[in-house]
Amino acid sequence: MSDRLHPRPAAATDPAISRRKLLEFFSASPILASGAVGALATLLESGASGALAQSYDVLRQAPVMNGDLIAAPAQALNVFDFEMVAKKELPPAHYGYLASGVDGDETLKANRDGFEHIRIRARRLIDVRKIDTSVKIFGETWASPIALAPVSSQGAFHPDAELAVARAARVKGHPMILSTVGSSAIEDVIKERGAPVWFMLYPTDDWAVTEALVKRAEKAGAPAIVLTVDRQGGRNTETLFRERRTDTRTCTDCHTPGFKNEVSRKPMFDGIDVDRVTNLYGTGMTWDYVRRLRGIVKGKLVLKGIVTKEDAKTALDHGVDALIVSNHGGRAEESLQSTIGVLPEVVAAVNGRVPVLIDGGFRRGTDVLKALALGATAVCVGRPYVWGLAAFGQPGVEAVLNILQREFETIMRQAGATKIAEITAASVDRA
């Protein structure tokens, strides 16, 4: 993001000046001896951020900020710091789309509140200097259990859209799932990611379109098709509608009414006849639809949106290869059920036969550990990385992923876990 949008004092933008002012402050302090100041100078000049974080936490993030909003990704203390910048940068309707839950947003809030009922048990006197955060899913080793969830229409948040996200995922080593109605084609996303991505399928109500989408994704190299099953009942996105009221732009300048016109802007539908399609979500889907889809998917089939043990068991009966516990980030229904709250019953129903992933409200590394301790194989984050995208593009996404990974590694050490397998039910207490 340009300095024109976020002007900052020259002193705050120059790390050398910041270091010098910090040293001048400590040199004048009667508390620190000159030797301590000298040692501090060596650390500051060497850029040893790891040493600073470990030994001099009070000095981390020392540069002065100009106002309440961060002006660069490096200033962020946590992922929430990106949200307000994203809100400032985005048109009200676009921010409202990203922020909205359904009805009064109570389920969206429940996703976050659910983590407060799980406590982490800290362990001591374990050598945790070296930890391994890798997990294996479908025979592929992921460097981190933190994956990027599918988020639609990312061109509404940044011109580089999913391509910037894919590049960030490549740099930081995180897996990615692409939405059917993303702003970028899967072939381009895989190229920028430098590795295959999963494809989240909105099935539509025309089987021919479903088949075409699956074939294209698999031809591009997607190892898994992720069928979203939580959007069939419709939804009342009040927060979006409220924000849209304050948007003075003319929406029809970009959006033409009608399904065909809307999907014509989505590259995954290029070359596909959508004349008979009336909606994305396949409102007549039943378990027979899953069986039929299983018959054409050559790779792995994943169901996203499972939140009960009954549906988890039925999914296994239909040959599903993995589940994602999800309520669409609080955007599917106003059930007041948090995904972290229902995770244990889904895990118990699956009983280790397939991987169980989860999304919904993940904002901290501690959230990730709690989900893994309750049996999740991996977690998916959505809004936080889009906040980073909207605020600063690819560097913002990278910073969000870096913060989440750093927090996760920190709490792993506090829990005495040196690898993912050591994060177990014994790592947490449920209030």
- CB of 366 closer than 8 Å to CB of 116: no
pLDDT tens digits, 280-297? 887 789 999 999 999 999
Question: Given a cut of 50, is residue 39 above it in pLDDT?
Answer: no
- The pLDDT, as a whole number, for residue 7 is 38
- Rg for the chain, CA atoms, rounded: 23
Identify the structural domains of the chain with CATH numbers, from first to last. 1-67 (no CATH), 89-430 (3.20.20.70)
Question: Given a cut of 50, is residue 223 above it in pLDDT?
Answer: yes
Query: How many angstroms separate the CA atoms of 395 and 8, rounded?
Result: 18
Query: How many angstroms separate the CA atoms of 426 and 296, rounded?
Result: 41
Which of 287, 293, 288 has the alpha carbon at shortest distance from 306?
287
| Among the ranges given (57-66, 103-112, 329-338), the one the predictor scored with the smallest mean pLDDT | 57-66
23: tokens are 């040293």
Q: What is the mean pLDDT of residues 177-184?
A: 97
Query: How many angstroms separate the CA atoms of 425 and 430, rounded?
Result: 10
> What is the overall mean pLDDT for the chain?
88
Which of 287, 288, 336 has the alpha carbon at shortest distance from 313?
287
| Among the ranges given (1-10, 206-215, 313-322, 364-373), the one the predictor scored with the smallest mean pLDDT | 1-10
Q: What is the mean pLDDT of residues 401-408?
A: 98
pLDDT tens digits, 42-73? 444 444 444 444 555 666 655 667 788 999 99
- The pLDDT, as a whole number, for residue 348 is 98
Burial 304-321 (b: 16+ CB within 10 A, else e): bbbbebebbebbbebebb
- CB of 61 closer than 8 Å to CB of 77: yes
pLDDT band at 277 (very low <50, low <70, confident <90, very high): confident
Question: Given a cut of 70, is residue 247 above it in pLDDT?
Answer: yes
pLDDT band at 264 (very low <50, low <70, confident <90, very high): confident
Who wins on pLDDT, 235 or 37? 235
Q: What is the mean pLDDT of residues 74-99?
A: 95
- The pLDDT, as a whole number, for residue 241 is 84
- The pLDDT, as a whole number, for residue 58 is 62
Q: What is the mean pLDDT of residues 236-257?
A: 83
**Does the annotation mark 328 as catalytic?**
yes
> Given the structure tokens 């295959």, which residue do they identify?
196
Instruction: Give every CB contact of residue 121 below 8 A, 6+ residues apart in sequence.
Output: 415, 426, 427, 428, 429
Question: Given a cut of 50, is residue 76 above it in pLDDT?
Answer: yes
Query: How many angstroms separate the CA atoms of 404 and 246, rounded?
Result: 33
Question: Given a cut of 80, is residue 192 above it in pLDDT?
Answer: yes
Q: What is the mean pLDDT of residues 197-223?
A: 96
Q: List phi, psi (to 5°) of 419.
A: -155, 165
Query: How many angstroms separate the CA atoms of 298 and 223, rounded?
Result: 9
- The pLDDT, as a whole number, for residue 281 is 84
Burial of 424 (0-12, 13-18, 19+ CB in 10 A): middle
- The pLDDT, as a whole number, for residue 296 is 98
Sign of CA dihedral 228, 216, 395, 145: positive
> Given the structure tokens 């936080």, which residue do they identify?
384
DSSP line for 333-345:
------HHHHHHH
| Among the ranges given (32-36, 165-169, 308-312, 391-395), the one the predictor scored with the smallest mean pLDDT | 32-36
198 membership: H or E segment, kind and range: strand 198-201
| Among the ranges given (21-35, 167-181, 274-288, 389-403), the one the predictor scored with the smallest mean pLDDT | 21-35
Query: How many angstroms separate the CA atoms of 52 and 55, rounded?
Result: 5
Q: What is the mean pLDDT of residues 131-151?
A: 97
pLDDT band at 248 (very low <50, low <70, confident <90, very high): confident
Question: Given a cut of 70, is residue 40 above it in pLDDT?
Answer: no
- The pLDDT, as a whole number, for residue 11 is 40
H-only helix segments in 237-364: 238-245, 259-263, 287-296, 309-317, 339-350
The percent of residues in the chain predicted with pLDDT above 70, rounded, is 85
Query: How many angstroms separate the CA atoms of 290 and 225, rounded?
Result: 12
The percent of residues in the chain predicted with pLDDT above 90, rounded, is 72
- Catalytic annotation, pick one of 94, 158, 174, 328: 328
pLDDT tens digits, 351-382? 999 999 999 999 999 999 999 999 999 999 99
Position 365, amino acid: G
Q: What is the mean pLDDT of residues 233-245?
A: 85
